[in-house]
Amino acid sequence: MSSAVQISEHFGRMESAFAVDVVPMAPEDPLFGLMAQYKEDQDPKKVDLGIGAYRDDNAKPVILSSVKKADDRLRSDPELNHEYLPIAGLPTFTSAAQKVILGADSPAIKEKRATAVQSISGTGALRLGSAFLAKFYQKSQKWPVLLSSPTWANHGHPLQTYPYFDKKTKGLDFDGMIAALDSAPEGSIAVLHACAHNPTGVDPTREQWEQIAKTVRAKKHFPFFDCAYQGFASGDLDRDAWAVRYFIDQGFELCIAQSFAKNLGLYGERVGCFHFVTSPGPNAQDTAARVASQLAIVQRSEISNPPAYGARIASTILNDWALFQEWTENLKEMSGRIMEMRRRLRSRLEELGTPGSWKAITEQIGMFSFTGLTEEQVLKVRKDAHV
C-alpha cells in the first residue's frame, strides 16, 4: 500500500473535484475514432478513407522530393539550432507564405496593409483568428459566425450554418447558400473555404464566387477564408487562390487561415499561417500595424512561440527558386493522380452498372468526396469490403 493511500485511509478519503457529474466522459472524436477502427481491422485488403492524408499506391505516407531536399539541407546546416522563434513566427516563412496566398504582386502586400502570423497549421490559424475577432470585432458578440453545412468540429462552435452541399445533385446548394448569407444578420463572420471544400469536395465556380462576394458586401459580412489545399486541388497555386485574391481585389477586409499540412505533406509538423488584410485607404498601414501588435499579444497568450522545424522546411522551399519549382511539380503530380483516381473510380462504377449517377465523383475536386451513400450503405461497405 502506498504512503498516499495510507494517509488517505487514516484521515479519510478526499473526493475528486472532478466527479462524473462535473467532468463527464467526452464522446470520441468521430474521425479519429474511425482511424482507430481501421488500425484494429486485421483484413490485409483494408482501405483507409478516413484521415485526409495523401498516400502512394501502397497506402504509405509520401514525403515530397522538394521536402526531402529541404530537410537534408537543414540537417547539414552547422548553424541550425533549436532556439525560440519570434512570437509572430519565422519571418522568412510568413513573408513567403503571404506571397503564396495573396500573390507575389498583390497590392495588399505592396501597400503594406497585410500582416501574417505563423500558426499551428490551419486549425491554429482558425483559433488565432477567432480569438482576435472575439476580442476586437465589435459585432462578434452580437452576430453569428456562419459555417458551411457540413463542416468539421475544429472550426469551432457552429453558431449558425449556411446550406452548402446539395444531397440530390451532390453539388453546391448555391441558391440555399446565397439565401442564408442574405438572411444572416448584417456584419456576421462568414467562414468560406477557398478551394477543395472539406469535407464535400464541392467548390463554387468563379461566377458563383462573384455573386457570393456581392452578397457578403451587401450584408457587410466579414470574410474569413479557410485555405488548407492551395495547389493540392487543381495543381495550380494561383488558380486555387483565385477566390481569396478576388475578394481582396474587391476591397474586402478579411482574414485567412492557411495550412501547409496537405500541400507540403507536413502533416505532423503543423505548419500554418494566419493572415489579416485590411481594405485600401489612407489609414490601411496603421490598421495593419495595430492588428499585428494585438495578434502578437493573442499569440503570446495562446502558444507563446510557434514550432520552428516545419516552418524552416517550408521557408527553405518557398524561398528557393529551384525547390519552389520542384514543389509546384509535386503538386501537379499529386493533384493529377487524384483526378485520375476519381476518373477511374467513376468509370468502373459505371461499367458495373452501379445504380445512380456517379458524375459527382469527377465534378468534385481535391482529396474529399461526398458519394451520396447512406449510413447503412457505408456500414455495409465497411463490414463486407473493409473500406
Residues forming the active site: 152, 226, 262
The amino acid at residue 12 is G
How far apart (Å, rounded) are the C-alpha atoms in residues 73 and 88?
A: 24
Residue 340 neighbours by CB under 8 Å, 6+ apart: none
Residues in the chain: 387
CB neighbours of residue 379 within 10 Å: 11
Kind plus residue range of the DSSP H or E element containing 310:
helix 309-318
Tell me the residue ranges of DSSP E strands in 194-322: 222-227, 254-259, 271-277
CA dist 227 to 15, 55, 93, 116, 302, Å?
A: 47, 21, 17, 14, 21
Q: State the pairing for strand pair 271-277/145-149.
A: unpaired
- What end-to-end distance do the CA atoms of the chain give, in Å? 48
C-alpha cell at 162: 449556411
- Residue closest to 64 by CA, chosen among 342, 328, 270: 328
User: Cell 494517509 maps to which residue?
Assistant: 7
